[in-house]
Structure 1
Amino acid sequence: MAMTATSAETAHHTSRSHRTGLALGKVLIYAALIFWAFICLFPIFWTVTTTFKTANNVTQGHILPFIDFWPDWKGLRSLGLSPDTLFEVSTVRDEFLKRFLNSVYASVGASLLAIVIGSIAAYGLCRFDYRFGWMKNRDISFFFLSQLILPPVVLAMPFLVLYKNLVLLDTLTGLILIYTLMVLPIVIWIMRDQFETIPVELEQAALVDGCSVWGAFFRIVLPIALPGMVAAFILSVILCWNEYFFAALLTSSNAKTLPVMVASQTGSQGISWWSMAAISTAAILPLVLIGIFLERYIVKGLTAGAVK
């Protein structure tokens, strides 16, 4: 009996120690995740709060609103977006809205064009056998993806000369074309994985029923691959929206975008931190909304073809 009681007590202590260890492990994991989330989100917090700081608050490193400093409309006022200037005529606000719309037109236009071209290219690489020299389908697909390895600065001079000769400098058309080239490899790769998950038998059945190859593509394949197309479109918009190098290189006044406007908030008096923060907050907000409401499409696009 004594031995039985001792065994039971030992098992109880072991089980209790195991539960304590699991609880401690969970606490450490959540603490690490919270700490990492703080590190990741702090730059966004700093940017948003700096929008409502004065020069003294910025230079003195005040961080917490209502504790370290009292919020002010200085950042939004510099853009003509504060409550006291919103209904007044403001050339700065007109400039900001023009740059914001330029970013929208360039990002959405390039993403739509990339989706159209990339979907057709991905479908061809997925369903038909090609040979270009020694390269076959998989080699061609990898060639497209490998274009992302090339540093943008390598293409600076060729594109500058090309755009000057084609009269595309400082135009939205030129910006849309180069953004399309920039995101096209990602679109092709995502859509190729999407099309590979669709059974070929569905298209064969459509062909038997009298559909042409294009008919099967538009009526059968595209509706099934639509979630993947949405994911590719969202990722393309995000990449184009954040692009700075080509926008700074190939534009000057008419087609300048928000990232370029953010970087231009400097002068003889130094950096206008509040204006830069206000523009950055306006540039971040659309992407935050996209991430919140369309997260499942983004995840689907990133994991496309992972499980078949």
Structure 2
Amino acid sequence: MAAEATASSLASADSGASARRTKWLLGRIGIYAALVFWAFVSLFPVYWTITTSMKVARNVQQGALIPFVDYQPNWLGWRSLGLSPDTIGNVSTVREEFLNRFLNSVYTAFGASALAVLLGALAAYGLSRYQYKFLWMRNQDLGFFFLSQLILPPVVLALPFLVLYRELALLDSTIGLILLYTLTVLPIVIWIMKDQFDTIPVELDEAAQVDGLGPWGTFFRIILPMALPGMVAAFILSLILCWNEYFFAALLTSTNAKTLPVMVASQTGSQGINWWSMAALSTAAIAPLVIVGVLLERFIIRGLTAGSVKG
């Protein structure tokens, strides 16, 4: 009887362990299936853009999706920009315009992001380490005030900025866009950087000042290097927002300072939208952001999750 009971208990244990393994395996399969589905949803617009840049009008209208199966790839979109293999060595006014717009986007996006990170880091460090009082507002109120600027619709600022930039002779200038983009992304930089500085112990500041460093030396030599992941995350998010901004770029520029989003939106012809040219331009426009994001991915994740776990 004892042997039978032992065998029965062992069989029950094995059955329970097998059920747990099956449950765990099904859970893992479900998680990976959800991740694969979400990756497909997220990457499909990029795939559609890249493939559309190699279609002709007939393929676009038919909704062909798979190259070499539904249609034969064609360099029509890239040829219209002077960027196809058979035209890259020839003189092209469209390619020259694209390169000018590309450089304008680089100057404005990188310049505004760098300036916003510098100013935002200073403001966030002050809000994290010092106590302020402005009228009825304290530090928490000031932080909310900065973040609330993101709620304001850009169209509300269109006329004031148009009049202001005309008076300051900043219309159709890269400097004007850099200043405006800096103002636009500064709230989110302050928000990210303050959260980053809050995770750094105040005792490090006190120890550095005991060793003879002043407030500026403490900030630049001790605290700022430790906040590097948050700075990179804030820089990348600012870069994406500035790079893709269209409204103010279309409103405040006409010839010299136009950026890539404005050029992408202007791909229309006598017969409608040139989807192949627009897709080729969009592919060329998102490629730098993809490269930067892949290279700095670990900093983005560390920066955005820095304040999620606090001791």
Could you state the TM-score of these two structures normalised by the residue count of structure 2?
A: 0.94
Question: Which of residues 185, 188, 197 in structure 2 aligns to 1:186?
Answer: 188
User: Which residue is equivalent to 2:122?
Assistant: 120
Letter in 1 for 2:302: K
Q: How does 1:76-115 map to 2 (within 5 A)?
A: 76-115=78-117
Distance 1:16 1:215, change over 3 A: closer
User: CA separation in 2, counterparts of 1:255 and 1:202?
Assistant: 44
User: Which residue is equivalent to 1:224?
Assistant: 226
Cα contact 2:229–2:300 (8 A) shared by 1: no
Which structure 1 segments of 5+ residues have no match? none
Q: CA-atom RMSD, angstroms?
A: 1.6
User: CA separation in 2, counterparts of 1:84 and 1:43?
Assistant: 27
User: CA separation in 2, counterparts of 1:129 and 1:104?
Assistant: 37
Distance 1:194 1:24, change over 3 A: closer
Secondary structure of 2:69's counterpart equals coil
Distance 1:30 1:206, change over 3 A: closer
Between 131-140 and 8-17, the greater mean CA deviation after superposition: 8-17
Shift of 1:181: 0.6
Between 271-280 and 60-69, the greater mean CA deviation after superposition: 60-69
Shift of 1:274: 0.6
User: Which residue is equivalent to 2:291?
Assistant: 289
Secondary structure of 1:300's counterpart equals helix
User: Which residue is equivalent to 2:27?
Assistant: 25
User: CA separation in 2, counterparts of 1:207 and 1:34?
Assistant: 51
Cα contact 1:145–1:189 (8 A) shared by 2: yes
User: CA separation in 2, counterparts of 1:209 and 1:29?
Assistant: 51
User: CA separation in 2, counterparts of 1:13 and 1:124?
Assistant: 61
Secondary structure of 2:232's counterpart equals helix
Distance 1:126 1:53, change over 3 A: same
Shift of 1:3: 4.2
Could you state the TM-score of these two structures normalised by the residue count of structure 1?
A: 0.95
User: CA separation in 2, counterparts of 1:193 and 1:271?
Assistant: 44
How much identity, in percent, do the aligned residues show?
69
Secondary structure of 1:259's counterpart equals helix
Letter in 1 for 2:176: G
Shift of 1:293: 1.3
Question: Which of residues 68, 71, 91 in structure 2 aligns to 1:69?
Answer: 71
Q: How does 1:1-308 map to 2 (within 5 A)?
A: 1=1, 2-308=4-310
Between 231-240 and 38-47, the greater mean CA deviation after superposition: 231-240
User: CA separation in 1, counterparts of 2:40 and 2:186?
Assistant: 34
Cα contact 2:102–2:260 (8 A) shared by 1: yes
Distance 1:203 1:50, change over 3 A: same
Letter in 1 for 2:121: S
Distance 1:216 1:81, change over 3 A: same
User: CA separation in 1, counterparts of 2:14 and 2:77?
Assistant: 62
Shift of 1:279: 0.5
Cα contact 2:236–2:293 (8 A) shared by 1: no
User: CA separation in 1, counterparts of 2:233 and 2:286?
Assistant: 19
